[in-house]
Every structure is written in C-alpha cells, then in structure tokens.
Amino acid sequence: MLVFGHKNPDTDTVCSAIVMAHLQNKLGNPAQAVRLGDLNKETQYVLNHFNVEAPQLLEGSLEGKDVILVDHNEFGQSADGIGEATVKMVVDHHRIANFQTAEPLYFRAEPVGCTATILYKMFKENGVEVESKMAGLMLSAIVSDTLLFKSPTCTAEDETACRELAAMAGIDLNGYGMDMLKAGTDLSDYSAGQLLGIDAKVFPMGAATVEIAQINTVSIADMLTRKNELEAQMQAIISEKGLDLFVAVITDILNSNSQIIALGNRTDIVEKGFQVTLVENTALLEGVVSRKKQIVPVMDKSA
Amino acid sequence: MLVFGHKNPDTDTVCSAIVMAHLQNKLGNPAQAVRLGDLNKETQYVLNHFNVEAPQLLEGSLEGKDVILVDHNEFGQSADGIGEATVKMVVDHHRIANFQTAEPLYFRAEPVGCTATILYKMFKENGVEVESKMAGLMLSAIVSDTLLFKSPTCTAEDETACRELAAMAGIDLNGYGMDMLKAGTDLSDYSAGQLLGIDAKVFPMGAATVEIAQINTVSIADMLTRKNELEAQMQAIISEKGLDLFVAVITDILNSNSQIIALGNRTDIVEKGFQVTLVENTALLEGVVSRKKQIVPVMDKSA
C-alpha cells in the first residue's frame, strides 16, 4: 500500500503520509509513504528536527496498485495516473471534487484545519500508542497549516490536538513552532519563479482565470526588495498560461497581515473585493492570512 | 438542516435519515428527516413495528439550504436540485462518484454493509445514548441491507452492531428479521412495472447500457407465474430507454439464490459472465444475492 499527499508537497501532506503509513503498519497493513515532489524548507526542518527520513519520490506506474490519499482528494492535485490505482482510503480536510472510485472505500473528510488533527483521532480510536516522533510530525503539520493557531482555518479541535501532541513529544510549541515557520521563510536562495511556485493554485472565478501564489515571510519589507523581479516573473506566467489575473500574497506570519501584488487585466477583482486601491500594483490586507477562507471567497464574489 | 437518503428509498435510506436527524438533534443541531419517494412495504413494516412516523416527502427548492446526505453520495441518486444546496455532511457505504462541494465538509464513507452500522458508531463516539426505537431502526436497516447477514456485502462489523442493537431493542433477530424481510416480499398487489421499479439501477458496461432490477421474494416459483407480464414490461423499458440489456434478478431470501430474466440484444453478457445458458430468457444463479458484489462486477468483466 502506497500512502501520499498532494503535488507540490507541504508539511501537512508529507508528515500525514509518514504518520498514516506508520499507523497502517501498526494495524497490520503494510504501507509505505511516498512524496510527489521536492520538500520545502519548512518540511526539511521538521524531518531534521525529529530525525525522520524523508519519504521517497513516487516512481513508476500506479496501475493496479492500492493507495491511500492524505491531505487531498482531487485527482488533479494527485499523482499522475491516479485513475489507474485503487484508492482504498482517503483522509482529508479539503472540499471534495473530481474524485471517484469504482468500489466502496474508507473516506474521511472533516472541516478542520489540518489532516494530522484527524490522524491523531484515528490513533485514539484504534488504540494505537502515539510514539514521540509521530507526535512531533503531527504537531508540526498542525502548526504549519494553522500558522500556530493564527489562521481562521484553525478550529478548537486543531489547537487541542496540537497541545496534546506537544506534551507527548516534549516540545515547547511557541519556540519550536516559530522556529519551524521561520525555517520555511528562508528563501534568499530561491529564484522569483521558485518563490511563486512554492504554493500556487489556479482558480476559475466568474469568467476569469486567476492564479494565487502565497509566500510566507517574517519580513514583508525584505520580500518587497524583490518586487520587480517577482512582477517580471508574474507577467511571464500570465502570458504563458493566458491568465486574467495573478495575485502574489506575501504573508507576514509574525503579524498576520498580507501584502499582495496583483497583475493582469482583471485587477478590478482585487480592488472591488477588498475595497483597496492598488498603488504600483500592491496593497496591504490587514489581518488576512488564509487563501482558502479570506482571499478566494472574497475575490470569487467580486469576479 | 434537512437529512435524506437516496431516491427510490429503501429501509436503510429511510431509517438512517430518521436516526441521523435524531442524533443531530441530540447534539444540538436542529435537523429534520425527509424522504425522496414512497416507502416500500418492508420499510412500512419497520416503522409500524417501532411506532415511528414516516418522514415527510421533500418538497420545495433546496436553494440555499443546508443538508445531510445518508446512504448515498452521487448527485444523480439524490434530490433534484441538490447542486443548489450546501452539503454539510455525508455518511455512506457506497462508491464515491459524481459528488462535489465548494467547501470542506464532514464526509464519512466506510466499506461496510449498511449505513446504520456507521451511524451506530457515531452514537458511541459522541457518547449519545441509543434509545430503543433508534436501535430498532438501525438493526432493521442492517437486516435489510445484509439480508440477515447472508449477503456477501455483510461485514463482521455489521453483524456485531446488529446483535448489539437487537439486545438494546429487545428484539429476537431471527424472528423479527425474517418477518420484516417477508413483509417486503408481499408484492401480490404490485403491477409488473412497480415490481421492476422497486430497486432498479442503470449501469454503463463497456459499450452497453444495462438496467438491473432486483426483486426479493420468498418464492421464486410464485414470482415466475408473472414471467410473461414482467417480460412485456422489460421489453417496453428497453425500447423506451434504448437499453442494450435488461436483467431482472428475483432473489430468494430464504435460500440465497437468484433467478434472472434477461432480455435485450446483449444477453451474451449474462451468458458469458455467469457461464450459463438462458432457457426462455431465464437461468438460476445459485448462491447469488448481491447485485453490488456478485452481479455487476461479473457482468462488467464480460461486457
């Protein structure tokens, strides 16, 4: 059984795949975690900290293989050739779309902030002991997805789970959590293209096609020193993909604000949605940190 | 919050809707069960036995309404206009297909024999007491979907849940279960069209479009006295819908066999799949009772 999260892997997707494979092995179902792309710096920091080996890159055909999906369900975000595999189980916290199976399966989605919060419940339900390393991976996933409980996607259940796991792993959440989030923002050696590719998704909004890329940072000012470079790259992506709008969201994880840079012929969607005026293509959105909860719905309405 | 099962409602779909609405109300979420069609005789027997009122027929638009789906997820099997509603929760035991939401939700599917088996776990997980009537509805749903544990779709979990629920409701499973299943087979006042409509589903198989209708009985011989009438109706449906094959499956719930009647220009699918020769359009399939597990996959392969 192969276990994997989404393409463009983040900390929740990688940690949840490792933890789910561990849980399945404990339950007597041989399973192996794999990943669908390179690890980001935050995830590397987490695996180093808890001395856990990175999953191998998925290689070869999925035809006839049994798989478990974590942290995603849409086939478009999954492994190439996912339609050839037999999906035996899904554990996720996203909307459900573009997913189908021929047979009944175990599918569990809950509207919480992080997949690992659900996995932690599964350990309890199955009476499987949570080893310290696994607790470390799960708490890291929750810190990552909820920006240390600051994101509006965070539920009381996520926070409670994270604090229980921190006690098990002997982790000081505020200290470790901030170090981990900061590790993910050490992007000085990234090209503009890499920065925009860390966490980018395309959305249809009304008649417009919109790409929204999010970059976490501890200093918006530092990131803005590269504004010209980012804009040139955004313009290139707009032309290449025929986008109507590209929004780069630079999120200050310390102060919970986001600076956006918007380019394209439908920047009116941003100005109308957030009631701001773009000056030199940019504006500050105070208190905004979640693309899923605070950006996409607002823009969708004004598109 | 409205709670409902699939069109062409059966005992699991109706009982699970009532039980889920009850559970939600106990959890402080006001909910009402509704149904998408007429009750069959088995379900009427169950509601009478436990003195539970039938859910009202769903009426009016679903636009902007919050709903919970039980015992199905495919929009094609759900209420008309389901796309206008906000699906907040799904509890099901079927394959997942043709389902999508804009927002994350609570979605729980497990590969067990009956939705009520999952609902019973939810009572336990939430620490909600199972009242005697609710136990009666849940055990009836399990008896119905598993043909009193004889169907290959029945899992150990279904049987254990059913026996626990029977103890709670003070029900003698063998006596009550058989009476209930037999009540569903009292079809003397049904027209041929009604008989074929009790539980019919259409499946694409290879290039062929196949309808398979299942009728439970305690006497295949009795049902075969109406063979000419059934065949005339099947032929009419084939012409009307442009089907390549229509298979009526008459299942003997006492002896766990099925007599099939097959019409259309692709009866080769049946003969090849089950290695039988149809004589006057009919053949006996020994030990076959489950459309999902023993009929559809076999025919799908030979189509």
| Segment B144-182, tens digit of pLDDT | 999 999 999 999 999 999 999 999 999 999 999 999 999
Comparing CB atoms, the residue among A93, A101, A125 nearest residue B96 is A101
The verdict on a CB contact (< 8 Å) between A101 and B102 is no
- Tell me the C-alpha to C-alpha distance, in Å, between residue A99 and each of A73, A200, B211: 6, 21, 25
The verdict on a CB contact (< 8 Å) between A102 and B93 is no
**Residue at A192: amino acid letter:** A
Nearest-Cα distance to chain A for B108, in Å, is: 5
The C-alpha atoms of residue B218 and residue B221 are separated, in whole angstroms, by 9
The C-alpha atoms of residue A43 and residue A54 are separated, in whole angstroms, by 9
Q: Helix or strand or coil: residue A106?
A: strand
Q: According to the model, what pLDDT value does residue B201 have?
A: 83
Q: Is the pLDDT of residue A292 over 90?
A: no
Q: What are phi and psi of B34, to 5 degrees?
A: -135, 170
Nearest in space to A196 (alpha carbons), one of A161, A223, A164: A223
Q: What percent of chain A has pLDDT over 90?
A: 86
With cut-offs at 50, 70 and 90, classify the pLDDT of residue A260: very high
- According to DSSP, the residues that pair with B211 across neighbouring strands are B202, B246
Residues 6+ apart with CB under 8 A from A160: none
Q: What is the pLDDT of residues B178-212, one digit of tens each?
A: 999 999 998 888 999 999 988 888 888 889 999 99
Q: Is the pLDDT of residue B71 over 90?
A: yes
Q: According to the model, what pLDDT value does residue A77 have?
A: 87
Q: Is the pLDDT of residue A126 over 90?
A: yes
Query: To the nearest whole number, what is the mean pLDDT of chain B?
Result: 95
As a whole number, mean pLDDT of residues B8-15 equals: 95
The verdict on a CB contact (< 8 Å) between B104 and A125 is no
Q: According to the model, what pLDDT value does residue A102 have?
A: 81
Q: What is the pLDDT of residues A134-164, one digit of tens each?
A: 999 999 999 999 999 999 999 999 999 999 9
Q: According to the model, what pLDDT value does residue A140 have?
A: 98
Q: Is the pLDDT of residue A206 over 90?
A: no
As a whole number, mean pLDDT of residues B101-115 equals: 94
Q: Which residue has the tokens 């169907």?
A: B151
Residues 6+ apart with CB under 8 A from B28: none
Which of B98, B107, B291, B296 is the best residue to mutate to test the A interface, defined by the most A CB atoms within 10 Å of its own CB? B107
Nearest-Cα distance to chain A for B273, in Å, is: 19
The verdict on a CB contact (< 8 Å) between B100 and A105 is no
Q: How many CA atoms lie within 13 A of B190 on its CB side?
A: 19
Residue numbers in B near A93 (CB within 8 A): 104
Comparing CB atoms, the residue among B93, B95, B104 nearest residue A109 is B104
The verdict on a CB contact (< 8 Å) between A109 and B110 is no
Task: Answer yes or no: are the C-beta atoms of B289 and B147 closer than 8 Å.
Answer: yes
Nearest in space to A74 (alpha carbons), one of A51, A100, A55: A100
With cut-offs at 50, 70 and 90, classify the pLDDT of residue A50: very high
The C-alpha atoms of residue B166 and residue B43 are separated, in whole angstroms, by 17
The C-alpha atoms of residue B9 and residue B70 are separated, in whole angstroms, by 11
Nearest in space to A299 (alpha carbons), one of A203, A230, A196, A231: A203
Nearest-Cα distance to chain B for A4, in Å, is: 19
Q: Is the pLDDT of residue A173 over 90?
A: yes
Neighbours of A292 (CB within 10 A): 16
The C-alpha atoms of residue A288 and residue A295 are separated, in whole angstroms, by 8
Q: Which letter does DSSP use for residue A279 in this model?
A: B
The C-alpha atoms of residue B163 and residue B180 are separated, in whole angstroms, by 16
Residue of chain B with shortest Cα separation from A105:
B111
The verdict on a CB contact (< 8 Å) between A106 and B111 is yes
Q: Is the pLDDT of residue B8 over 90?
A: no
Which of A82, A107, A290 is the best residue to mutate to test the B interface, defined by the most B CB atoms within 10 Å of its own CB? A107
Residue numbers in B near A104 (CB within 8 A): 93-95, 109-111
The verdict on a CB contact (< 8 Å) between B107 and A96 is yes
Residue numbers in B near A101 (CB within 8 A): 95-97
Residue numbers in B near A83 (CB within 8 A): none
For residues B121-135, one letter each, b for 16 or more C-beta atoms within 10 angstroms of the residue's C-beta and e for the rest, the string is bebeeeeeebeebbb
The verdict on a CB contact (< 8 Å) between A95 and B111 is no
Comparing CB atoms, the residue among B95, B105, B108 nearest residue A104 is B95
Q: What percent of chain B has pLDDT over 70?
A: 100
Residue numbers in A near B110 (CB within 8 A): 104, 106-107
The two structure tokens encoding residue A286: 């105070």
As a whole number, mean pLDDT of residues B91-102 equals: 90
Q: Which letter does DSSP use for residue A103 in this model?
A: S
Q: What share of chain B is helix, strand, coil (3-state, %, to 5)?
A: 40, 20, 40
For chain A, the residues whose C-beta falls within 8 A of a C-beta of chain B are: 93-111, 125
Q: Is the pLDDT of residue A42 over 90?
A: yes
Neighbours of B237 (CB within 10 A): 18
Task: Answer yes or no: are the C-beta atoms of B134 and B22 closer than 8 Å.
Answer: yes
Q: How many CA atoms lie within 13 A of B51 on its CB side?
A: 2
For chain B, the residues whose C-beta falls within 8 A of a C-beta of chain A are: 93-111, 125
The C-alpha atoms of residue A159 and residue A60 are separated, in whole angstroms, by 38
pTM over 0.90, yes/no: no
**DSSP string computed for B37-91:** SPPPHHHHHHHHHTT-PPPEEP-S--TT-EEEEES---GGGS-TTGGGSEEEEEE
Query: To the nearest whole number, what is the mean pLDDT of chain A?
Result: 95
For residues A184-202, one letter each, b for 16 or more C-beta atoms within 10 angstroms of the residue's C-beta and e for the rest, the string is bbebeebebeebbebbbee
Nearest-Cα distance to chain B for A106, in Å, is: 4
The verdict on a CB contact (< 8 Å) between B104 and A93 is yes
Q: What is the pLDDT of residues B265-284, one digit of tens each?
A: 999 999 999 999 999 999 99
Nearest in space to B197 (alpha carbons), one of B148, B236, B254, B153: B236
Comparing CB atoms, the residue among A94, A100, A125 nearest residue B96 is A100
Nearest-Cα distance to chain A for B89, in Å, is: 9
The verdict on a CB contact (< 8 Å) between B100 and A103 is no
Q: Is the pLDDT of residue B13 over 90?
A: yes
Q: According to the model, what pLDDT value does residue B293 have?
A: 86
Q: According to the model, what pLDDT value does residue A297 have?
A: 86
Q: How many CA atoms lie within 13 A of B227 on its CB side?
A: 15
Q: How many CA atoms lie within 13 A of A68 on its CB side?
A: 27
Task: Answer yes or no: are the C-beta atoms of B288 and B295 closer than 8 Å.
Answer: yes
Q: Is the pLDDT of residue A301 over 90?
A: no
As a whole number, mean pLDDT of residues B71-95 equals: 93
Q: According to the model, what pLDDT value does residue A1 have?
A: 96
Who has greater pLDDT, B101 or B2? B2
Q: Please tell me the total number of residues recorded for chain B in this structure.
A: 303
Q: Tell me how many residue pairs between chain A and chain B have CB atoms under 8 A apart.
A: 63
The two structure tokens encoding residue A10: 């983040």
- Tell me the C-alpha to C-alpha distance, in Å, between residue A122 and each of A11, A38, A117, B299: 19, 28, 9, 37
A39: exposed, middle or buried (Cβ count in 10 Å: 0-12, 13-18, 19+): middle
Nearest-Cα distance to chain A for B125, in Å, is: 9
Residue of chain A with shortest Cα separation from B95:
A104
The C-alpha atoms of residue A294 and residue A271 are separated, in whole angstroms, by 14
Nearest-Cα distance to chain A for B227, in Å, is: 33
Q: What are phi and psi of A13, to 5 degrees?
A: -65, -45
Nearest-Cα distance to chain B for A223, in Å, is: 31
The verdict on a CB contact (< 8 Å) between A97 and B100 is yes
As a whole number, mean pLDDT of residues A288-302 equals: 90
With cut-offs at 50, 70 and 90, classify the pLDDT of residue A202: confident
Residue of chain B with shortest Cα separation from A88:
B111
What own/partner pairs with CB < 8 Å and gap ≥ 24 does A220-226 have?
Answer: A220/A250, A220/A252, A220/A257, A220/A259, A223/A250, A223/A259, A224/A250, A224/A259, A224/A282, A226/A192, A226/A195
The C-alpha atoms of residue B150 and residue B170 are separated, in whole angstroms, by 22
Q: According to the model, what pLDDT value does residue A76 have?
A: 81
Nearest-Cα distance to chain B for A292, in Å, is: 9
